[in-house]
Amino acid sequence: MPAVDTEAAGTSTGTTSGTRVGVGVDIGGSGIKGAPVDLSVGQFTAERLREPTPQPSTPDAVAQVVRSITESILAGLPGDTAGLPLGVTFPAVIQHGVARTAANVDDAWIGTDVASLLASATGHPVHVVNDADAAGVAEARFGAAKDVPGVVLVATLGTGIGTVLLNDGVLVPNTELGHLELDGHDAETRASDAARERDDLSFKDWAKRLQRYFGALEDLFWPDLIVIGGGVSKKHDKFLPLLDLRTPVVPAQLLNSAGIVGAAVLAAERHGATRA
């Protein structure tokens, strides 16, 4: 039985008649989380559920957990939920529903048609998206990049650097700009939050590395806005003011709910949604 994830309870809202509802599931290396989403405002309509990611995290084992979480979510929705699409985030490059890499999950996922596997397990149409891409879409629809025209770059600073590129709100999937080579280094090995902690850098010294990284991205893509996500974005006042970029830079707003929200939105756009 999935556990209620109280960390996300603050994003819950009541469900009202006529609300367009989608379902998002976030597959991670340590936990699998899911929630119903009010697609008009990008908020959960019930508390997020969570189960540990099975170990080993093989495709069949993970699919059973996704089915369990999905069944619990759908049981709490009023009305007929048959055919309701599921949006699923996955920590990998996803091409047309197929995993081409596997980060923090079993290597058996590489080459797996994730969308078909989970659709078979749950009995619902599934849209699968890279986890960073889902979070970026959520920021474009409901967060820091809402209504921003042109090119938006979202960068998540954590163990590595996840990047998302959108043009007029349209996702360009699977950008792996954290692996941009700069000065002979993979960028995320120098500029991620993990690199800051590993090298015991002050925020001032870390900002110098971020300046080099984001300056290079500016020259390549000329973005209209840069959004910074990841847990360290809660401390944005300690490093964002130290950056000297021509592009406006702002912290992400949705934080832990972003992946689930973005996945639900993309699934609804691809397959349609229901009303609760």
Query: Do 149 and 95 share a structural domain?
Result: no
Query: Do 161 and 120 share a structural domain?
Result: no
Instruction: State the DSSP code for 13.
Output: -
The pLDDT value given to residue 104: 87
Q: For residue 242, how many C-alpha atoms fall within 13 Å in the half-sphere facing its CB?
A: 16
**What range does the domain containing 189 cover?**
144-252
Q: Distance between CA atoms of 150 and 168, rounded to whole angstroms?
A: 5
Query: Do 56 and 117 share a structural domain?
Result: yes
Query: Do 103 and 14 share a structural domain?
Result: yes
Residue 138 domain-assigned (yes or no) = no
Residue 211 domain-assigned (yes or no) = yes
Please name the residues in contact with 34: beta carbons below 8 A apart, sequence gap of 6 or more.
2, 23, 24, 25, 26, 48, 49, 50, 66, 69, 70, 73, 260
Query: Do 152 and 116 share a structural domain?
Result: no
Q: Which residues are bridge partners to 87 per DSSP?
A: 24, 127
The pLDDT value given to residue 7: 53
Q: Distance between CA atoms of 189 and 159, rounded to whole angstroms?
A: 9
Query: Do 128 and 9 share a structural domain?
Result: yes
Q: How many domains does the chain have?
A: 2
Residue 139 domain-assigned (yes or no) = no
Alpha-helical regions (H) of 53-157: 59-75, 114-122, 131-142
Please check whether residue 222 is in contact with residue 113, taking contact to mean a CB–CB distance below 8 angstroms.
Answer: no
Q: What is the CATH number of the domain that holds 163?
A: 3.30.420.40
Residue 201 domain-assigned (yes or no) = yes
Q: Distance between CA atoms of 29 and 11, rounded to whole angstroms?
A: 23
Please check whether residue 44 is in contact with residue 24, taking contact to mean a CB–CB distance below 8 angstroms.
Answer: no
Residue 181 domain-assigned (yes or no) = yes
Please name the residues in contact with 67: beta carbons below 8 A apart, sequence gap of 6 or more.
121, 122
Query: Do 236 and 160 share a structural domain?
Result: yes
Residue 151 domain-assigned (yes or no) = yes
The pLDDT value given to residue 103: 84
Residue type at 62 in one-letter notation:
V
The pLDDT value given to residue 124: 97
Query: Do 193 and 271 share a structural domain?
Result: no
The pLDDT value given to residue 91: 94
The pLDDT value given to residue 6: 53
Query: Do 267 and 171 share a structural domain?
Result: no
**Which residues, given as ranges, of the chain have pLDDT below 70?**
6-18, 272-276
Query: Do 87 and 185 share a structural domain?
Result: no
Q: Distance between CA atoms of 232 and 268, rounded to whole angstroms?
A: 30
56 upstream amide cis, omega within 30 of 0:
yes
Query: Do 193 and 74 share a structural domain?
Result: no
Furthest CA-CA distance within the chain: 57
Query: Do 167 and 128 share a structural domain?
Result: no
The pTM for the full model equals 0.90
Please check whether residue 229 is in contact with residue 236, taking contact to mean a CB–CB distance below 8 angstroms.
Answer: no
Give the pLDDT confidence of 200-243 residue by residue, as tens digits: 999 999 999 999 999 999 999 999 999 999 999 999 999 999 99
